[in-house]
């Protein structure tokens, strides 16, 4: 019997050949055991603990590309924001919020739900941190303004309140967990203000920092939101 027949015989044993094949296969197997065991152990170790870090983050980012883009610049059609260059602490906190359902936790929030489902794929130890590190290291894309009609001058007065946490330059403040607003798409900022106001974001009793933002959205009507977002665009 040649090697080929033997290999085929192992899965589709024909009449009369059975015993020889079993014995041959047993010999082949016993010789391969150490290799097989090593391969199995190696694969198990990989599955359990991919080495965390920026290289792992880059590999994971492939799964983010369809919505956030290869350069992390976002995609308005998919309601996916620009994320390239956001601070690591903020990306990590938001991914954790999506996983916990503090974002994307209500049935009407279809775009939040889209991201929440995605966040659940980061389920191996260190993956969430690794992808946050990679995203934070990407060059910011500075998306162009897409909205019209906001009165930036009127928005400037409103922004004085926002500046207390997000900074007069809109670059954010880690000490109060407030993200940068400059460098973000205007349509996304506006959508998030509406989400805070509707209680789709910042309303969970355990989302401490989200709760500090919500009252600021509650005090704005639609026009005031459009105006303050128009002003933020002038800070870019």
Contact (CB, 8 A) for 94 and 129: no
Strand, coil or helix: 173: strand
Report the residue number, 193 or 235, with the smaller CB distance to ligand HEC: 193
Please report whether residue 91 would count as binding ligand HEC according to CB under 6 A: yes
Contact flag: residue 226 with ligand HEC (CB under 6 A): no
182 binds ligand HEC (CB under 6 A): no
Instruction: Give the one residue of 76, 111, 204, 234 binding ligand HEC; rule: CB under 6 A.
Output: 111
CA angle 192, 198, 203 (to 5 degrees): 90
DSSP letters spanning 136-160: HTSPP--PPP------HHHHHHHHH
Angle, vertex CA 234, rays to CA 153 and CA 157, nearest 5:
35
Q: Is 209 in the site for ligand HEC (CB under 6 A)?
A: yes
Q: Rank residues 122 and 235 by Cβ distance to ligand HEC and give the closer one.
A: 122
Q: In this structure, what DSSP letter does residue 103 have?
A: S
> According to the binding rule CB under 6 A, does residue 130 interact with ligand HEC?
no
Considering only residues 166, 197, 226, 227, which one is a binding residue for ligand HEC as defined by CB under 6 A? 166
- Chain-centroid distance, C-alpha 157: 33
- Are 68 and 141 contacting, i.e. CB atoms less than 8 angstroms apart? no
Residues in contact with ligand HEC by CB under 6 A are: 60, 63-64, 66-68, 78-81, 83, 86, 91, 93-95, 103-104, 111-112, 114-115, 118, 122, 131, 135, 158, 161-162, 164-166, 176-179, 181, 184, 189, 191-193, 201-202, 209-210, 212-213, 216, 228
């Amino acid at each position: 019997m040649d090697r080929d027949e033997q290999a085929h015989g192992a899965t589709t044993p024909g009449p009369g050949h059975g015993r020889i094949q079993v014995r041959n296969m047993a010999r082949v197997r016993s010789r391969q055991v150490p290799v097989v065991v090593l391969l199995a152990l190696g694969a198990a170790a990989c599955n359990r603990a991919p080495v965390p870090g920026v290289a792992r983050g880059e590999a994971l980012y492939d799964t983010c590309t369809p919505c956030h883009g290869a350069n992390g610049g976002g995609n308005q059609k998919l309601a996916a924001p620009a994320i390239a260059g956001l601070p690591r602490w903020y990306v990590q906190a938001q991914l954790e919020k999506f996983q916990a359902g503090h974002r994307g936790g209500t049935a009407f929030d279809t775009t939040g739900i889209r991201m929440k489902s995605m966040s659940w794929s980061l389920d191996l130890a260190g993956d969430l941190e690794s992808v946050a590190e990679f995203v934070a290291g990407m060059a910011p894309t500075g998306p162009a303004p897409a909205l019209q009609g906001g009165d930036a001058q009127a928005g400037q007065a409103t922004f004085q309140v926002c500046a207390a946490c997000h900074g007069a330059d809109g670059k954010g403040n880690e000490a109060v967990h407030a993200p940068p607003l400059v460098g973000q798409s205007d349509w996304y900022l506006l959508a998030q203000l509406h989400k805070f106001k509707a209680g789709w974001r910042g309303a969970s009793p355990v989302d401490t920092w989200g709760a500090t933002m919500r009252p600021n959205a509650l005090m704005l009507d639609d026009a005031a939101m459009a105006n303050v977002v128009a002003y933020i665009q002038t800070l870019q």
